[in-house]
Every structure is written in C-alpha cells, then in structure tokens.
Amino acid sequence: MLTTRFTELIGCALPLQQAGMGGVATADLARAVSEAGALGMIGAAMVPAAQLAQTLVDLPSPVGVNFLMPFVDTDAVEAAAGAATLVEFFYGDPDPALVERVHKNGNAKAAWQVGDADEARRAEQAACDLIVAQGVEAGGHVRGTIGLLPLLDGVLDAVGDQIPVVAAGGIGTAKAVKAVLAAGADAARIGTRFVAAEEADTHPEYAQALVDAGPDDTVLTTAFGVMWPDAPHRVLKSCVDAAGQFAEGDAVGELVMGEVRMPLPPFAVPCPGRTTTGTVKAMALYAGQSVGAVTKRQPAVEIVRELTADL
C-alpha cells in the first residue's frame, strides 16, 4: 500500500479520510472505516462533551473528531483532544488558541478544512498539523469558491512543504482518489459516498435519493439557512424545490433524539437521519458532485476497498 505523510501522521494503512459529517458520521461509521484501514471520523457538531468522551472510550485508534466552528464547544474539543488521533475544525477563521487547546490536552493532531490558500496559510501559522483543501464540488457546507484541482495547487504551494494536505470535494471513485494523490495530495477525503454507508445515520429515503442522483443534480445554495444563515452548502436540487412547497410556520417533519422530538421548519440545517420523520425529500439532502458514484447502500468497508482498489 501507499505510504504518504498522511498515513505516517495518522498511523493508518490507507491515504483516505472519511469526512466528519454532523449527524451522519456516527461512531459506528468511524469504527468501520478505521477498521478498514482508512481514517474514520465522528461529526461532533452539537454533541455534548460528556457524550463525546463516552463515545470515544469505545473506539479503536486511529479516529478523528470534526467540529463546526459556528457551534464549537471548547469542553468537547478538550474531550476529543484527550482521546482522539485527530481533532479537526471547519467553517471559521483558523484559531491558534483552539489549536493550542488540542495540543495541550492530549496527543491529538489538529487539522483545519479550508476553502482557499490564504486560509490554509493561516491554519499552518496557527500550528495545525494537517490541512484539508475543500473544492467547491463538495457536498455539505462549502467554504471556498474554486474547483478542487486549482485549489489543491494553491494550497500545496502555500503550505505543502510544511504539512500534509488532504484533498476534498467531488471525489467518489478509485480513479479520482488516484488523481488527487498524483496531483500532490497526501490523502483523499470522502463525504457523500459515506453518507450512503450502511453504518451512517442516514434516512433510507436520503440514501436512495443519492443513489438516484447524477453529478449534475446538485446545487450550491444558501437556501437551508434556518439555524445557520448565509453559509453556502451543496445539496440535491430536488430538496430545495420540495422545501419551497412548504409555507413559513409549517413543519416538514421531526428530528428525534432519544426522548426529545424537535419540529423541523422548512429549510432547517439538519439532514434526515434514520429516526427523522416527515417529508424527507424536502429536508437538507447534502450531496457533492461525487454523488454520481453512489450506486447503492453498502457497508463502509466495501466503500473503502472500492476507493483504494487502484493504489
């Protein structure tokens, strides 16, 4: 197998990172991906510190934890730093104090997902150990405005001599993984393909919508802005139209978290998980241009094997 600065830093066999995705990327998914030889990640947005610490106790190494800066909880960051291999941040200015908190509270490495070369430079200056360059093709919230290959060139020129760089956005096949490695990336990061993994907390209708969609069925929009306004994200076009059929004040469904049931207004940020009820097709169905590579719901180990078949 291929050794890169990423596999050496993380201590995994494959230059492949599963994206930490809020709601979707559960402990079961992270475990399955890491056991398959790649880096499994938990999406920790809005997960309380105590619950995160408990989850990490049971997980094998390596494992990463992803935080969204608009919702970051520093107690949870410290809990992650004490138990995870990688603590990663997205969607906010690189923050040296937060990176220091990671390094001081355990052995975890710190990463920042960025959308341009200048943000990469600031993340490196903030003492990050790893950078993820996210092209505009990516599913979910999107930080930058340019395609992955020109972005990767710029980020590699800016920080590639100092720290490993992971490429993200629109990568869904073994050919694409090989292409970004050939272009200088130390690993490929994959989101949308893992949304359809059996272990992900994904509503079956959402997974089926991904299977049915092609690469031109996504749109970059700010439509799903309730709870997180003015933050561009890539979703299936069909869900923007379907959500538009609801009136303000309607509920499209309910988010169910244990005993707690939360009505979901139209254009709310959470994507539908297994227990979400209501009109799933009108919820935020995040998807990257890699969605054409989603052909069925399958175990994460199979996805890892398919993606790394050519290495």
Total binding residues for ligand FMN by CB under 6 A? 30
Question: Which parts of 248-267 interact with ligand FMN (CB under 6 A)?
Answer: none
Binding flag, residue 160, ligand FMN (CB under 6 A):
no
Q: Which stretch binds ligand FMN (CB under 6 A): 173-181, 191-199, 207-215, 262-270?
A: 191-199
Q: Is 94 in the site for ligand FMN (CB under 6 A)?
A: no
Question: Please, what's the b/e burial string for 168-207 (b: 16 or more CB within 10 A of its CB; e: otherwise)?
Answer: bbbbbbbebbbbbbeeebbbbbbbbbbbbbbbbbbbeebb
Helix (H, G, I), strand (E, B) or coil at 181: helix
Question: Applying CB under 6 A, which of residues 164, 191, 270, 292 lies at the interface with ligand FMN?
Answer: 191
Query: With 0-12 CB in 10 A as exposed, 13-18 as middle and 19+ as buried, what is 3?
Result: exposed
Name the one range near ligand FMN by CB under 6 A: 2-10, 115-123, 183-191, 240-248: 183-191
Candidates 271, 282, 294, 304; binder of ligand FMN (CB under 6 A) is: 271
Measuring CA to CA, which residue among 80, 76, 73 is closest to residue 57? 80
Q: Rounded to whole angstroms, how far apart are CA atoms 133 and 140?
A: 14
The answer to whether 55 contacts ligand FMN (rule: CB under 6 A) is no
Residue 114's SS3 state is strand
CA 17 – CA 168 distance, rounded (Å): 9
**Does residue number 171 form part of the binding site for ligand FMN (CB under 6 A)?**
yes
Of 18, 26, 34, 66, the residue at the interface with ligand FMN (CB under 6 A) is: 66
68 binds ligand FMN (CB under 6 A): yes
Instruction: Indicate the burial class of 13 (C-beta count within 10 angstroms; 0-12, 13-18, 19 or more).
Output: middle
Decide: is 270 part of the binding site for ligand FMN (CB under 6 A): no
- Asked whether position 286 contacts ligand FMN by CB under 6 A, the answer is yes
User: With binding defined as CB under 6 A, does residue 290 bind ligand FMN?
Assistant: yes
Residue 288 lies near ligand FMN (rule: CB under 6 A): yes
Q: Residue 262 is encoded by which pair of tokens?
A: 């939360």
Residue 292 binds to ligand FMN (criterion: CB under 6 A): no
**What are residue 286's DSSP bridge partners?**
235
- Site stretch for ligand FMN (CB under 6 A), options 100-108, 135-143, 259-267, 300-308: 135-143
73 contacts: CB under 8 Å, gap ≥ 6: 48, 49, 67
Among 38, 42, 45, 252, binds ligand FMN (CB under 6 A): 45
Contact criterion met (CB below 8 Å) for 124 and 133 = no
Q: How far is the CB of 247 from ligand FMN (least distance, A)?
A: 26
Name the one range near ligand FMN by CB under 6 A: 102-110, 164-172, 238-246, 299-307.
164-172
Please identify which residue in the block is written with the tokens 């130390």: 186
Is residue 155 a contact point for ligand FMN (CB under 6 A)? no
- Pairing label, strands 109-114, 86-90: parallel
Nearest residue to ligand FMN, scored by beta-carbon proximity: 191
Q: Which residues, in sequence order, are CB contacts of 263 under 8 Å at separation 6+?
A: 251, 253, 254
Among 20, 64, 270, 292, contact with ligand FMN (rule: CB under 6 A): 20
Footprint on this chain of ligand FMN (rule: CB under 6 A): 19-22, 24, 43, 45, 66, 68, 90, 113, 134, 137-141, 168-171, 189-192, 195, 271, 286, 288, 290
